[in-house]
Amino acid sequence: MIRVLYCTDFLMSGGVERQITELVTRLDRTRFEPYLICLYGPKAGRSLHFLSRIEAANVPVHLLDLGWSAKDKLRGWQALTRLSWQIRPQIFHAVNYHSNLLSRLARPVMPSRLKLIGSVRTEYTTKQLRYEQLSWRLCTTIVCNSPHLQRQLTEQSKVPASRVLMIPNGVDIERFSQNPQPDLRQNIAPDARRVLVMPGRITRQKSQHLLAQAIGLLKDRQQLPADLRAVLVGEHEDATIQAEIDSAIERYQLQDVIYQFDQTDCPEAYYHAGDVTVLASLWEGMPNVALESLAAGRPVIISEAANAARVIAQNETGWEVKTGDTESLTETLHHVLHLPDSIFAIMQQNCLSRAADFSMARMVTTYEDLYQRLSAIPMP
């Protein structure tokens, strides 16, 4: 039995957190024994959205509930060290940024036979890439989820290609291809001909305010269809971005056009309630929203930065817009909202075909093979 100790920064309602939840709960329990450390929770102002699902799968969870101070980071380092000796995993898998930093700092005092897997799951800043360059030797392998992140690591952080493994994100195609709430569209947008859906935490990264501003510009130009509705779905995290959303709605009088809902355990219902998904992120790794939308058969309006992994093909499974550019988004919306139903029917089939490239089962199997291989490698 191979013990795998995961360490994640958060368990809030986010893409990285959904991926790790799927992985941890789908492991073959006849071969693997998973444990999980979560660094942050209520004390840091973060929800524990996926905690109950992981615990329901009988995965032991160690919630550290750290704050943001240096003292909290020291406490986290101590906890990672202690738990690595207590659990004695063959594999320690760090999932996101802080868990990567703390686990690498703790690696010299962890059990020597432990294999440390690092992860890069989103676009890194110059400073973060420098940290990777300084610390990659502490990892047996670094996993990334898209080709452009793989290039960043090998070309900018100078990580040897042999140490970097690209494993694309997976999507539960069976789940997202089904509509669990067929009446949701009628309930939230009963008179709409077109519904835009924008899932994601309210953050600067996701920049939901850009959609509100673009819809406002359409209205200013008298190009806004009266039967358009837009739905934002996600956890409230950044008060500044929420204020920008509210400001655009108030300025352009969009109270009857844009509706907002909190995070949900059933995001697939919202994809199916919409016609088009919008992802205007300023940066992404492998965007889960795009994968989930494809599996639901819904094309995606996506920023260039969010589409760095080339998940969405122009005019086949969606449309690409300039990153952070409200005018580009406005023009694309105007084009998309006037397309005939026949085009959407063709694109729906294109989306379903593309989603098959990102099977969740394939992702889990690839990680299982990695754990099996690394656990068999003796320490030098």
Task: Convert the pLDDT of each residue in 322-352 to its tens digit.
Answer: 999 999 999 999 999 999 999 999 999 999 9
Task: Convert the pLDDT of each residue in 24-33 to its tens digit.
Answer: 999 999 999 9
227 within 8 A of 184, measured Cβ to Cβ? no
Task: Convert the pLDDT of each residue in 138-154 to its tens digit.
Answer: 999 999 999 999 999 99
* Residue % of the chain over a pLDDT of 90: 97
pLDDT band at 378 (very low <50, low <70, confident <90, very high): low
pLDDT band at 134 (very low <50, low <70, confident <90, very high): very high
Task: Convert the pLDDT of each residue in 69-116 to its tens digit.
Answer: 999 999 999 999 999 999 999 999 999 999 999 999 999 999 999 999
For the segment 282-286, the average pLDDT, to the nearest whole number, is: 94
Q: Is the pLDDT of residue 298 over 90?
A: yes
The pLDDT of residue 376 is 86
pTM: 0.91
* Residue % of the chain over a pLDDT of 70: 99
For the segment 57-65, the average pLDDT, to the nearest whole number, is: 98
Q: Is the pLDDT of residue 377 over 80?
A: no
Task: Convert the pLDDT of each residue in 209-247 to its tens digit.
Answer: 999 999 999 999 999 999 999 999 999 999 999 999 999
Domains in the chain with CATH codes: 2-170+359-375 (3.40.50.2000), 173-358 (3.40.50.2000)
Q: What is the mean pLDDT of the chain?
A: 97
Q: Is the pLDDT of residue 379 over 70?
A: no
